[in-house]
Amino acid sequence: MAKLIIEGGTPLKGVVRLGGAKNSSFKLMIASLLCLQETRLLNFSHIADVDLVKGILQKLGAKVYSAGERTLFINAAQLHSSIIPQNLGLASRASSLFIAPLLARTKKAIVPLPGGDKIGARSLDRHFDGLKALGVKLEIKNNLIHAGCSQLKGASYTFSKPTHTGTETMIMAAVLAEGKTTLKNAALEPEVDDLINFLNQMGAKITRLAKRTIEIKGVKELKPIIYKVMPDRNEAVSYAIAALITRGDIIVENAREKDLTAFLAKLQKTGAGIEKADYGLRFFYQKPLTAVDITTEPHPGFMSDWEPLWSVLATQCLGTSRIIETVFTSRFQFVKDLQSMGAKIQFFQPQVANPEEFYNFNLKDDQSANFHGIKVSGITPLIGKTITITDIRAGATLALAGLAAQGQTVLTGLEHIDRGYENFAGRLLKLGAKIKRTN
């Protein structure tokens, strides 16, 4: 069993360079199915989710190979299957994203219901309703999604609530569809724009007409390109918080302000040191940090993925931070582990006038036992513990807590960290962390 062994209490200092965004890399790989010639992706990350999607692409008949450290070639000219094996789909939420390109290429798709992190329901209703508007017939049998369509046809569709994966699914479905598709209340995430830029460079006709309105004019074919994946904004936040909770000083190369606006605004209020640096951003501890409240929202709001990371930062801020989660039904599963390390955290239920408007998840997917708010009191000393990780961001959160804690922290379940972070322990080691991975 792989373990991460961390001795806390050392300020992290140095420079770290971001890899390609996890939430863009594997989606651009999937979108490459829409092209009949070889596509080349630069700056992709060596993470488990990328390896999983690579395996699925190869099962479908695509040729996928690496050249150099961060270059990936994908040639999907000859597909011999429209079926994704169930064991591959269960390991990631990527499986549903294959539906659109497979329909465009082969007129049918059979894919497993998505797996991935256990952080609450990821409803596919908004994806399915949109695909049906384009003429797709869908059926779920034995945990498999069966989709078919003789010809995708453009339509106007309004999402009931913003969904970045649903928006990406509809964009990929509409690119080669007959006619024009208009998506309203569409997602604004930078990774969605990365997909749009990628497809437009291939010859797609995709335009943002208004803040949440996207127009796609179907084209006959897409051409091969060389494309550089955007940097990972979740990694940027992880290393920023690592600098602050260890009272260190880290330059995050490749970090883009435009992707981190909500995070930087909140971080500034804590009193953290933030500066523009050559090729990125510098984060450094300059004085005791002050508690700040956050509420997660779809972009351009405070990202849900940042909430667990912020929670450990809040333990080292003076005062009480109120943290409200509106995107997922049960994202606070990491709290009990932070509490075991000494964190002072209380659950609460936010009092809101209109839950349907306030929460981005489907209320029917929620359970009465789920809390959607926590109060974190600081400054609180953390104590090292032995803990099993349950999802990607919780894993990074507990690793960060271990860096700030007194004594030794031992983490298992490292496959969750590996899904989203490339060589996490090695990169922290270069920043001065006392950390060791054993397999």
CATH superfamily label, 22-228: Enolpyruvate transferase domain (3.65.10.10)
Give residue 108's pLDDT.
Answer: 96
Q: What is the pLDDT of residue 310?
A: 98
Q: Domain spanning 3-19+232-438: which superfamily? A: Enolpyruvate transferase domain (3.65.10.10)
User: What share of the chain has pLDDT > 70, as a percent?
Assistant: 97
Instruction: Please write the tens of the pLDDT for every residue from 376-391.
Output: 999 999 999 999 998 8
Decide if pLDDT at 248 tops 80: yes
Quick one: CA dihedral 169, 171, 176, 179, positive or negative? positive
Q: How far apart are the first and last CA of the chain?
A: 6
Of the given ranges (51-65, 264-278, 350-364), which has the lowest mean pLDDT? 350-364
Specify the pLDDT at position 123.
Answer: 66
pLDDT, one tens digit per residue, over 228-241 is: 999 999 999 999 99
- 180, 160 in Cβ contact below 8 A? no
Element housing 200 (H / E) = helix 190-201
pLDDT bucket at 67, cuts 50 / 70 / 90: confident
Dist CA 317 CA 39 (whole Å): 46
C-beta atoms surrounding 66 within 10 Å: 13
Distances (CA, A) of 235 to 57, 103, 163, 354: 26, 33, 21, 34
pLDDT of residue 117: 44
- pLDDT of 134 > 80? The answer is yes
Instruction: Give me the residues paired with residue 409 across strands.
Output: 6
In the chain, CATH 3.65.10.10 sits at 3-19+232-438, 22-228
* Residues with Cβ within 8 Å of residue 298, at least 6 apart in sequence: 162, 164, 187, 188, 189, 327, 360
Average pLDDT for 6-27: 96
Q: Is the pLDDT of residue 118 over 50?
A: no
- The answer to whether residues 124 and 138 touch, using CB atoms and an 8 Å cutoff, is no
CB 237 within 8 A of CB 21: no
What average pLDDT does the chain have? 94
Q: At which residue do the structure tokens 């002050």 appear?
A: 290
- Rounded to the nearest 10 degrees, what angle do helices 261-270 and 233-245 cross at? 10
For position 392, what pLDDT does the model report? 78
Task: Quickly state the pLDDT bin for 436 (edges 50, 70, 90).
Answer: very high
Lowest mean pLDDT, pick from 100-104, 198-202, 245-249, 353-357? 353-357
Beta bridge partners, 417, equal: none
Following DSSP, what letter does each residue of 304-326 receive, concatenated? GGGHHHHHHHHTTEEEEEEEE--
By mean pLDDT, which of 83-92, 131-140, 171-180, 293-302 is the weakest? 83-92
Q: Which of 16, 4, 9, 14 is nearest to 403 (CA)?
A: 9
- Size (the chain), residues: 439
**pLDDT at 121 > cutoff 80:** no
- Mean pLDDT value of segment 297-316: 97
- Give the pLDDT mean for 192-213: 97
Residue 303, pLDDT > 60, answer: yes
In 10 A of CB 436, how many CB atoms?
Answer: 12
